[in-house]
Amino acid sequence: LNHGLTLDGAKLKPAKVSWQNQDQLRFILKEGKKRQIRRMCEMVGLKVLGLKRVRIGKVMLGDLPEGQWRYLREDERF
C-alpha cells in the first residue's frame, strides 16, 4: 500500500499507511479516488469494517458530526 497500486488502469500515488493498533490502519492519501481505501485493502486481502476521516489537508475535523460542515477559520487553507 505504501508503494502505490494500480486502480482502474491508473497508477495511484503511494499512500502512507501505518498500524494504529492490531485492528486499525491509518491512511494518508495524496489523492482520493472512488472508494480508494476499500479497494486498496481488498487488493491485499484486508477487509474494511469502517472509515473515519480525521482531516482534510491541514484542516482537522475534530468532533464535527458525520454529515455536518463548518466554515473555515481565517487561518485555515486548502
Cβ neighbour number for residue 43 with a 10 Å cutoff: 12
Helix (H) or strand (E) holding 56: strand 55-56
Is the CB of residue 7 less than 8 Å from the CB of residue 42? no
User: What is the tens place of the pLDDT at every residue in 46-62?
Assistant: 999 999 999 998 999 99
| DSSP 8-state secondary structure symbol assigned to residue 73 | P
Phi/psi of residue 28, nearest 5 degrees: -120, 115
pLDDT at residue 2 is higher than 80:
no
Mean local confidence (pLDDT), 8-24: 89
pLDDT category of residue 26 using cuts at 50, 70 and 90: very high
- Which pLDDT belongs to residue 70? 94
Q: Coil, helix or strand for 39?
A: helix
| DSSP 8-state secondary structure symbol assigned to residue 54 | -
